[in-house]
Amino acid sequence: MLKTFYHDLELMNPSMTTCLSEPSITSSAQHKLNINAKQSEAVKGEQRAKQQVASQFSRAAQSYDQAARIQHFSALELAQHIEQLHLRTQESMSGHWLDLGCGTGFAVPTLLQQGAQYITGADLAHGMCLASNEKLTQRPFHAVTADAENLPFANNSFNGIYSNLMVQWSEEIRDLFDEAQRVLKPGCLFAFATLGPRTMHELKAAWQQVDPFIHVNQFSSKQQIIEQCEAFFDIEIIQQKEIVQQHESLSRLLKELKAIGATNVNSGRRPGLGGRERLRQLEKSYRDVCNSEQSLPLTYDLIWIIARKR
């Protein structure tokens, strides 16, 4: 059962920096060391996070389609927004499109039906690429394992980019927008869906009553995404909607999150979920937070944006 209602908010997340000190060297040399140390740690952290995201989604490739109800809803909504824009501007979908973060290729048949002639899929998770290539072997489609922040495609390669619920996993969203702008032909569309900060707020609040660790991924606000996107594109459509998905129990909720690969990748996380007692505490706090004795709600704060390369 899905309940929908609209919500529009703009929250800013504070950033954190670290500083190292070494009194035995000069301040200018130390400043350079500090910068290098920060950059090195950031690169290591980014690589670890990307590897973890890729591994999670690769493992979820076989279970993804059956569990990804919200993802499928979002994908079809994004395709409809593209179609509505084309009707309004008297354009048509054609040529070679990139499905960025293609997953199992769920959106490919819809994009082909709307007019795309060939689709290249790109996904950081190799398992997803294998699954989509196997499933769509009879379609004009091929997926490659690739990092959205460093795409292996030539400049001005694509007539459009479609990306459903992948942008929120980017470590450096500015690099992602830069790459999308680079591989798009001038005047073409970058259509993407992402998650806003109220996503899974019930689960986050419940965990906060159990322990101080970070258990729920943190997502950028709509305003933050707009500011990054507008550095490279002209935005033509923005929509935001909350979808509330109901689950019979906490175990089913957590099982579905695992099946779609949407597990925690934040620093400060606690390894694993803990034992039965911790999960019992979590379910109790979840029901207290939601004031529910029946099903457990889980919110997805969906944001759809269609932007055009200048």
Residue 240 lies in a domain: yes
The whole-model pTM stands at: 0.80
Residue 23 lies in a domain: no
Residue 13 lies in a domain: no
Residue 161 lies in a domain: yes
Q: Can you give the pLDDT at residue 309?
A: 98
Q: Are 20 and 37 in contact (CB under 8 A)?
A: yes
The stretch 122-126 carries a mean pLDDT of 95
Q: Which residue has the tokens 């706090």?
A: 285
**Could you tell me the CATH number of the domain that includes residue 169?**
3.40.50.150
Cβ-based burial of 267 (10 A; exposed 0-12, middle 13-18, buried ≥19): exposed
| H/E segment holding residue 121 | strand 118-123
The structural domain count of the chain equals: 1
Give the span between the Cα atoms of 182 and 199, in whole angstroms.
30
Enclosing domain of residue 115? 2-8+51-309
Residue 258 lies in a domain: yes
Residue 266's pLDDT band (cuts 50, 70, 90): low
Residue-wise pLDDT tens digits, 199-255: 999 999 999 999 888 888 889 999 999 999 999 999 999 999 999 999 999 999 999
Cross-strand pairs, 306? 191, 237
| H/E segment holding residue 241 | strand 233-247
Q: Are 227 and 173 in contact (CB under 8 A)?
A: no
